[in-house]
Structures are given as C-alpha cells and as structure tokens.
Structure 1
Amino acid sequence: MSSSFIGLNEKCSKIDKKQFLEELTTKNFIPLKLKSIDGIEQYKLYRLQSSASKGIRTTIKNESLTNLKHFKMESMKFPEFDFTDLNGNHYNNENTIGKTIIFKT
C-alpha cells in the first residue's frame, strides 16, 4: 500500500490515503484489496472481528504506521546536502533537482 491507490471506508465511500492509513493504525481494520479499475489499486477497510488473532492486528498497525510515516515524508523537503563521491562527482540539492538518487549507507 505504499503506492497510489483508491481507499474506501467501511461504507465504500472514497477516503484519502492519509485517512485510510490512519484508520488502519488506530482502529481494528484490515485492508482488503479489491479488483483494480483501470490499473489503479483499490483497498477497502474491513472491520476485524474481535475473535481475530492479536498478531494480525499488531502486524497491520505496524505496517500501516510505517506506510503513514513514509506518506507524510513525501511532501517534506529533503535536507540540505553537499558531497563528492569516490569518483569525484559532486552532488548537492541544486544539481540533483528532478533526478533519482539512491543513497546507500
């Protein structure tokens, strides 16, 4: 669920991604993947029964917290950086705008 998707609440009304993930982290729901429309994934909130294993709830909440954290980071500005790699190539915020960069630590 880290990609773009259409989120639906219990009553099949569309909700935004942030609200969908927040519902998964704070309430007893699991996401059910529905048949995609035009290649766009759809997920519906499905209330988890009280008899369900606590492990299921814990896993869903933990995964959803991670996805929510990453979603919130999408709109954040990347911290300032300025470095030279081992091959002498110089990188900073200005010369990497619009480029895909993978930082390996």
Structure 2
Amino acid sequence: MGKPLVEPAKILKDGLSLAYYNRDYLKTTEDFTAYNTSSRAIDKMKFFQLFATGNYLPMRLAGPGNQYRLYKLAPRVSDDIHSVLQSYGKTALAHYKMEGKKFPGLNYTDIDGKVYNSKNTKGKIVVIKCWFLHCQACNEEIPALNQLVDKYKNRDDVVFISLAFDPVEKLKAFSKKTVFKYALAPVKESYIEKDLGTNEYPTHFVINRQGLIVKVVNDADELAAALNNEAGK
C-alpha cells in the first residue's frame, strides 16, 4: 500500500489547506479502493458513512489506481476542521446513495420551447446541471462545460440540460449575453432541493440510457470523467 500523497498534518493545519486538498486530491466520485484505519479494505458505503461523521480524513495514497485510507482525527484537531470534513462527507454520502436510483421528474421545456422528457430521452445519456444565475462557481465553469458539449457534438445519444430556478425572462437575457451550450430550462427551486435532493450549486447528474443516476458531482472535471466513462460503454 502506498504512502499518503499529502501528510495529514499538512492537510489538517487549517481550513484553507483542507479546501485545497479537497479540490486537488479528494476525487471520490471516481472509482477507488477504500481502506479503514487498519489498512483493511472496506466497502464504499461504510467508507462514506465514516467520512460523514467528520471524524475521519480520507487520505489519498500513492500508487496505481485511486486508493484512500481513512485517518482518525486526533483530539487536538479543531471543531471547525471536523465540521468541514463532516460537510464534505455528508455530501459524498448523499451523492453515493443516489447512484442507481431513477432520476425523478425528467420533464422540462427550455427557453426556446423545446421539450425534454423521459420519453424523448429514452436510450440516451442525459447530463443535468442544477444552478442559478447569480452563482459564481456555476458561471465560472461554463467554458469547461461548453468544451464538454463540443466533445460530444456528434453524439446524438448524449443530451445536455441545465436547470435553473430563475425566471424564464432572465434566462433568455442571460443567453443573449453568454454562450452556454446546454439547453436552458427554468424549474422551481423546490424541485431541485426536494425532488432532486440537492442544495449545493452547481450539482451535476449523469443519467444512463435506462434513466438511472450513475454519478452526482459538483465539479466540471469530475463530470467530464464520469461522462467519459458512461459514454464509453
């Protein structure tokens, strides 16, 4: 088993260091092997459940493939670090629990009047982005998402839809100023937060040809990896 790519002391010294580690190394939406604190393999559900307590840090290990070993936080670690880890872990656990479930309520009309529903997307891979216009991170990732759309432009079996809880008039005004190659569909905020079960933005869903959720991510790079994996099947 490889050594940690970053030593726990460096990761846990402050909130900024933990945030950078989360951004650069914690890629738990990709396939990985999980180990407990004793370096014994455990299933992913148990891994995410422990992560969600806020008492463990998933240490990315050097070596082939993606490997994580849980590290039990020492008593001296601040409550703030525990809280941040718990937040990361709860999100990861919630996303993992969505995998394999039917995507709910796929029935949208975009700002141009085009309808997307479970019937006309049957047999296709559907990529959903949940966001809102004043979300900075949501806007910053648009160039990367446009590149993703371009990559699959010759694939009729891949559909890109963005769901925003902004008024249709504001979405139309946005589309005149900004190039965003996803379909723009207005929805109610309650649909995203209650039916889809997310209140973090942006959140991306990759839905397979059978209408089942295969991945839920919050990052454009992780989305690209998940879509590449699904589109290659």
Q: Which moved more, 1:6-15 or 1:26-35?
A: 26-35
- Are residues 1:101 and 2:116 paired? no
1:21-76 Cα deviation digits (max 9, x unpaired): 10112362111110142xx2111011111111121111111100011001111122
Q: Equivalent residue for 1:23? A: 50
Moved more, 84-93 or 43-52: 84-93
Q: Pairwise mapping of residues 1-105 of structure 1 onto structure 2 (< 5 A)?
A: 1-26=28-53, 28-37=55-64, 40-97=65-122, 98-102=124-128, 103-105=162-164
CA RMSD of aligned residues (A): 1.8
Aligned length: 103
Unpaired runs of at least 5, structure 1: none
CA distance in 1: counterparts of 2:95 and 2:36, whole angstroms: 21
The structure with the largest helix share of the pair is 2
How high is the TM-score relative to the length of structure 2?
0.41
Percent of residue pairs identical: 33
For residues 114 and 63 of structure 2, the distance between their equivalents in structure 1, rounded to whole angstroms, comes to: 43
Aligned to 2:212: none
- 1:96, distance to aligned residue in structure 2 (A): 1.6
Name the SS for the 1:96 alignment partner.
coil
- TM-score w.r.t. structure 1 length? 0.84
Q: Which runs of 5+ in 2 are unaligned?
A: 1-27, 129-161, 165-233
Which structure shows the bigger proportion of residues in strand conformation?
1
Higher RCO, 1 vs 2 (CA within 8 Å, ≥6 residues apart):
1
